[in-house]
Amino acid sequence: MENVWVLASVWVGLALIATLVAIWFRISTALSEIVVGTVAQLVIGALFVHAELGGKTSWISFLAGTGAIVLTFLAGAELDPQIFRTKWKEATVIGLVGFFGPFFGCTAIAHYILHWAVRPSWLAGVALSTTSVAVVYAVMLELGFNVTDFGKAVLAACFINDLGTVIALGLIFSPFTAKTLIFVVVSVVVFAILPFLTPRFFKKYGGRVSELEAKYLLFLLFAMGGLAVWSGSEAVLPAYIIGMTLAGSVGKDHILIRRLRTLTFGLLTPFYFIRAGSFVSVPALIAAPLAFVVLFFAKMLSKVIPLFPTVKAFDYQKEEGLYFTLMMSTGLTFGTISALFGLNHGVITQAQYSYLVATVIGSAVVPTMIANAWFMPRHLLGTKTEEKSTLSQAMSKNAD
């Protein structure tokens, strides 16, 4: 499709449909956009042989890439530095175990059971090592754990877990050269300066209609992303760390974050998620559904088995430990970012990409579907045990 505006209207129209689907079924917009992208490509491919949605068009790639970078930055900016300072020991240990368990576990299963080559297996390990800060945070809000020491530690651990994922994604698939060294040194200097420079710069020149803050942040993200790609790494790596380093300043500027969200959700991320969905091959999934099942259980088990005893080692109750271990087994955004990186860089095939995205979606959706299908208020489940669950107690605290 050569007409830019027609193609743009098709993509934004799909984004609109995805948003309506998300509203009707109360599912996340990201999930809806991935599914709409997959279905749209399937339908277009069936109606017009060899026709494509245009996901490889340069301007769509740019918008989608920017969406991934800004989304990653905003995700990093949600970190609460105060929590991390007080709970860094538990957070680091739980976060690293949460990362390394599935990273090595899924890599091994992809390689030895699915017989994937070494590099695709490592990519599977990276894509399935992620956790969803948002899912954990949402459940904590429901149960009131967001105000407890346990909840704060687990939340900070999720950030460490995802940091492990983006570092692995950024460094494993690029050869270590002088360029890598330059990227690392420049990054360290920039990350050290930013928390001091940014608030002062915004204080002096910010708060105007010219949106200086947005331009400054986009410049930083593009410049560091460009340096990362030049060195053979991935642009989301510096974006996440910039988000974390600015969490205490930019992250607390509610108005700025809201403006960035509008830009991200209104224009950028629909292109990213629809594009990610359009590359999923439904025929490949149907041809070998077992690969999805193997990867799904690999992710769940390799998260739960090492994490559960680790969480218990910090003296947390059995029930809450198991609960949050399960919650940490989800992860949509970084999972798709990692899989798309692998596809774009020729690390994995389209079929392998499809299995990974399906697994990422499955790990995010299946627990929710089960919970909704056999609905029972969670606090009533707790009262069935003789020992009054600490979950119920935490919920009571939340209700106050």
Q: Are 69 and 235 in contact (CB under 8 A)?
A: yes
Residues 295-354 that bind another protein (CB under 8 A): 330, 332-333
Closest CB to another protein among residues 35, 109: 35
Are the C-beta atoms of residues 338 and 127 closer than 8 Å to each other?
yes
Q: How far is the CB of 399 from another protein (least distance, A)?
A: 4
- The contact mask relative to another protein for 81-120 (x = CB under 8 A, - = no) is ----------------------------------------
Of 115, 286, 377, 386, the residue at the interface with another protein (CB under 8 A) is 377
Nearer to another protein, 78 or 319 (CB): 78
Taking the least distance from each CB to another protein, the nearer of 110 and 236 is 236
Residue 119 vs 379, nearer CB to another protein: 379
**Closest listed residue to residue 181, CA positions, set 227, 216, 220:** 227
For the purposes of burial, counting CB atoms within 10 Å of the CB of 175, is it exposed (0-12), middle (13-18) or buried (19 or more)? exposed
Q: How far is the CB of 391 from another protein (least distance, A)?
A: 11
Residues in the chain: 400
- Euclidean distance between CA atoms 240 and 247, whole angstroms: 10
The interface region with another protein, picked from 73-81, 186-194, 224-232, 342-350 by CB under 8 A, is 73-81
Amino acid at 266: G
| Structure tokens belonging to residue 93 | 């240990």
Quick one: which of 92, 317, 344, 368 contacts another protein (CB under 8 A)? Answer: 368
* C-alpha closest to that of 220 among 206, 234, 241: 241
* Complex with another protein: residue 135 or 298, whichever CB lies closer: 135
Residues 76, 99: Cα–Cα separation, whole Å: 16
391 is an interface residue for another protein by CB under 8 A: no
Q: Please report whether residue 389 would count as binding another protein according to CB under 8 A.
A: no
Out of 4, 118, 141, 147, which residue is the one contacting another protein (CB under 8 A)?
141
Residue nearer to another protein on the CB measure, 138 or 287: 138
CB 54 within 8 A of CB 123: no
The footprint of another protein on this chain (CB under 8 A) covers a number of residues equal to 44
Q: Which is nearer to another protein, 53 or 143 (CB)?
A: 143
Q: Does 379 bind another protein (CB under 8 A)?
A: yes
Residues numbered 11 to 50 that lie near another protein (CB under 8 A) are 22, 24-31
Contact stretch for another protein (CB under 8 A) within 37-45, 68-76, 212-220, 224-232: 68-76
According to DSSP, residue 348 is labeled S
Could you write out the DSSP letters of every residue in 247-272? TTTGGG-HHHHHHHHHHIIIIIHHHH
What's the min distance (Å) between Cβ of 238 and another protein? 17
How many other C-beta atoms are found inside a 10 Å radius of the C-beta of residue 248?
17
Query: Is there a contact between 41 and 278 (Cβ–Cβ < 8 Å)?
Result: yes
Pairwise CA distance, residues 308 & 303, whole Å: 8
374 is a contact residue toward another protein (CB under 8 A): no
Q: Which of 264, 278, 325, 354 binds another protein (CB under 8 A)?
A: 264
In Å, what is the CA distance from 274 to each residue of 252, 265, 334, 371, 393?
30, 12, 15, 27, 42
For tokens 């910090």, what's the residue? 314
Q: Which two tokens stand for residue 139?
A: 């459940």
Applying CB under 8 A, which residues contact another protein?
Answer: 22, 24-31, 71, 74-75, 78, 132-135, 137-138, 141-142, 254, 257-258, 261, 264-265, 330, 332-333, 364-365, 368, 372, 375-380, 395-396, 398-399
